[in-house]
Amino acid sequence: MHGRTVLVTGASGFVGRVVCDALEQRGWRVRATGYRNTGGAMQSVAIGSGTDWSDIINGCDAVVHLAGRAHVLREVAPDPLAAFREVNTEGTRTLASAAAVAGVQRLVFLSSVAVHKPTAQVLDENQTLGASTPYGLSKLEAEAALRVIAGQTGLEVAVLRAPLVYGPGVGARFLQLLRWCRAGVPMPFGAVRNQRSFIGVRNLADAVCVALEHPGAANRSYLVADREVISTPELMRQLARSMGSPARLLPVHASLLRLMARSAGKELELERLIGSLVVSTRLIRDELGWFPPVSLHDGLAETAAWYVA
């Protein structure tokens, strides 16, 4: 597939920039779309059910679909589910239909672990699908739409389900965590005994490349994550240490934290910090031979160095 043209949606974003670099290093000609038009090198596209992809996708051999409506820290949409569906579900359906018409061979879709039901077990692809958030439901419905289009048209679809992504340029919740660690803010997580999977942005970009190029990835769905797991207190200690700041972690019991979060209506936000979510990557390792090239320790150090620079 080297030397062919790939359309990357969401190329102006945190993940998109790294994915585009990785694809170009592997010999792909990248056609980029995003929300920022940079001197004509990137086309600005609003993703939704009415997007006209015909001119943009013409001549492309493959598509990497990264663009989407992600978790919103302060939701302002009157109907969040409808807002997520318009971008993540209908936007994906429209893009895949256009790709099939244009003769695209393969589409790689960045989904999320949020399409799975929450579980105390190690998460793998055999476990039940069933999203518990509007975001997760919109991604789950997008995956279903892709399977239908693949079955009807012959378009090859590869789905990657990622946990929280971190790395230089990260935003949202992980950026807030960096701010807290850098400032040495006392945080009540010293008694938390959880385990969580994350994925570094360079590891995710590498997985995208493998899913795009490997023959065995056609019409398959894979969970992706760093090899290592980490607790929330240790994550904060590593970040603070890398930024030369003290980690001030107060030993508040998790049950008390959950009680306070429930009274404030912040249960979901807290659970993303103190709950456990361990992802198995055995399937993509066994079928595609994929291993994350960057360790969690090195990825966190790179992220911290970016933040303090």
User: Which two structure tokens, joined as six digits, stand for 257?
Assistant: 């934290």
Residues of the chain with pLDDT > 90, as a percent, come to: 84
Question: Which residue range is the domain that position 12 belongs to?
Answer: 5-166+198-225+280-289
- Structural domain contains residue 93: yes
Q: How many CB atoms lie within 10 A of CB 219?
A: 15
How many domains in the chain?
1
- Structural domain contains residue 296: no
- Structural domain contains residue 128: yes
- Structural domain contains residue 231: no
- Structural domain contains residue 233: no
Q: Rounded to 5, what percent of the chain is helix, strand, coil?
A: 45, 15, 40
CATH code of the domain covering residue 97:
3.40.50.720
Local confidence band at 35 (pLDDT 50, 70, 90 cut-offs): low
pLDDT given for residue 33 in this prediction: 93
Task: Tell me how many degrees the CA angle 101-102-104 measures, rounded to the nearest 5.
Answer: 105
The residues that are catalytic are 135
pTM of the model: 0.94
Q: Is 169 exposed, middle or buried (0-12, 13-18, 19+ CB in 10 A)?
A: middle
Local confidence band at 94 (pLDDT 50, 70, 90 cut-offs): very high
Q: Is 252 exposed, middle or buried (0-12, 13-18, 19+ CB in 10 A)?
A: middle
CB contact set of 85 (below 8 Å; sequence gap of 6+): 134, 137, 138, 141
Q: CA nearest 239: which of 146, 157, 176, 154? A: 176
- Summarised one tens digit per residue, pLDDT across range 185-196 is 999 999 999 999
- Structural domain contains residue 173: no
- Structural domain contains residue 63: yes
Is the model's pLDDT at 1 over the cut of 60? no
Q: CA nearest 296: which of 209, 192, 181, 167? A: 167
- Structural domain contains residue 294: no
Whether 106 contacts 212, CB under 8 Å: yes
